[in-house]
Structure 1
Amino acid sequence: MQFAPGYRRFAVPAFLGAAVATFVFPPVGAVLLGVGVFVLWFFRDPDRSPPAESGIISPADGHVSVIRVEDGRIRVGVFMNVTDVHVNRAPVSGTVQDVTHRPGAHKPAFSKDSDKNERVDITVESDDGEYEVSQIAGAFARRIHPYVSAGDDLERGDKIGHIDFGSRADVLLPEGFSSDDIVVEKGESVRAGETVLAKR
């Protein structure tokens, strides 16, 4: 099993603490062992294979929480629950134009106020036009880790980053896509790098 970068920062202290506490106060050792196992499970990074069918695929595991029009473009947001994989993937192939960190609040990612949360916006130029992936922090997430930089070439389904104990990932579709091109509904379960969100 692969793990997202940074897992050692949380897992190693938990396992070391468990090893010591087991001899001093076993119940605490058991709790710390459980924490270490949870961290490994949370940072899991399974292989994914983009579907053969064309279309823009989900940047995240989770449930579709946002479908709306913004200045003539469609935004689809995916809320990542604590049980979901938190590694984000490129919705389409293209070239990274810009990676921008925007400070902000840490409201629950499923709330309307989460649009004002801390985020990283990744702008990508594709054959269909410019699209943007936003990694949005939540109430407990404090670290967003993009893996890409301006000038990087991406293939559909490539890993583009993760959020520690993260929250939401949106894709702002290129101009020209309409609501009729969306093939998912709010509340629908999706998988990063595999589920098609929109096609035309």
Structure 2
Amino acid sequence: MHKEGRKFVAIFAAIAVLLGLLWTPLFWIGAGVTVWCYYFFRDPVRVIPQQHGLVVSPADGIVSLIQDVVPEEGLGLGTEPLTRVSVFMNVFNCHVNRAPIAGKVLHIIYRHGKFVNASLDKASIHNERNSLTIEAPDGTRIGVVQIAGLVARRIVCFVKEGDSLHAGHRFGLIRFGSRLDVYLPKGVSPLVSVGQTAVAGETILADLADPARKRGGVAE
């Protein structure tokens, strides 16, 4: 379990005990919620692909959107549309977020916002979000955005501007349902399809070393 979840599990466990003092069946309901909370904050070991140039998924979940959009201001990614891959996390997914590439954190921009369903396209504009720009050693830049969802109310970021990250490095989490957006460099084709299940740190979203490489299969 990630350390960010310890206090929540302790709170839920205490509430379960108090409910049990009132009525025994309530204890078991509270115990079930406590187990779910522990499951939510799990932090499993992942095997990170080591091939140079691979962009890995920053989150567990479902690839919900793949669109060409203009990245938000402040990320230093230009004003032309880039391919954005969105991974939606429900309340049962692992919510620890991992760096999609190795590199230096150039920018971190936090924006207050609403809490509409994170699976919707408008969540990228209206919801609370935390945006990072990561620059690889060769100068390639990737944008990754943590977006709070309908249930989520707290974005946590563990890194700061100037930090160096390895691919798959844990850089943050979002509590209780959310989404991660990844902006790929111009001309890079995604290797995933809408509806595909992604695993943080393991699923390959794109190959920067072979930008024209495309997905060989079809999601069914």
TM-score normalised per structure 2? 0.84
Q: Structure 2: 5+ residue runs without aligned partners?
A: 70-79, 211-220
Q: Secondary structure at the match of 2:122?
A: helix
Kindly provide the CA deviation profile for residues 121-142 of structure 1, in whole angstroms up to 9, marking residues without a partner as x. Answer: 0111112511111000011100
The counterpart of 2:157, out of the listed 131, 139, 146, is: 146
Equivalent residue for 1:166?
177
Alpha-carbon distance between aligned partners in 1 of 2:171 and 2:36, rounded to the nearest angstrom: 23
Alpha-carbon distance between aligned partners in 1 of 2:155 and 2:115, rounded to the nearest angstrom: 12
Instruction: Report 1:101-112 matches (<5 A).
Output: 101-112=110-121
The counterpart of 1:114, out of the listed 114, 123, 126, is: 123
Alpha-carbon distance between aligned partners in 1 of 2:83 and 2:50, rounded to the nearest angstrom: 23
Partner letter of residue 121 of structure 2?
K
Alpha-carbon distance between aligned partners in 2 of 1:145 and 1:174, rounded to the nearest angstrom: 25
Residue 23 and residue 104 in structure 1: after superposition, are their counterparts in 2 closer, same or farther (change >3 A)? closer
Q: Secondary structure at the match of 2:109?
A: strand
Cα shift at 1:5: 3.4
Equivalent residue for 2:106?
97
Alpha-carbon distance between aligned partners in 2 of 1:13 and 1:88, rounded to the nearest angstrom: 23
Partner letter of residue 110 of structure 1?
S
Partner letter of residue 42 of structure 2?
R
Alpha-carbon distance between aligned partners in 2 of 1:168 and 1:110, rounded to the nearest angstrom: 7
Alpha-carbon distance between aligned partners in 2 of 1:113 and 1:10, rounded to the nearest angstrom: 30
Equivalent residue for 1:188?
196
Instruction: Report 1:61-76 matches (<5 A).
Output: 61-70=60-69, 71-76=80-85
Kindly provide the CA deviation profile for residues 83-102 of structure 1, in whole angstroms up to 9, marking residues without a partner as x. Answer: 21111101110000111111
- Contact 1:128–1:174 at 8 Å: present in 2 too? no
Alpha-carbon distance between aligned partners in 1 of 2:23 and 2:194, rounded to the nearest angstrom: 47
**Stretch of structure 1 that moved more, 10-19 or 136-145:** 10-19
Alpha-carbon distance between aligned partners in 1 of 2:181 and 2:38, rounded to the nearest angstrom: 25
Q: Structure 1: 5+ residue runs without aligned partners?
A: none
The count of corresponding residues between Structure 1 and Structure 2 is 195
Alpha-carbon distance between aligned partners in 2 of 1:43 and 1:112, rounded to the nearest angstrom: 26
Q: Secondary structure at the match of 2:3?
A: coil
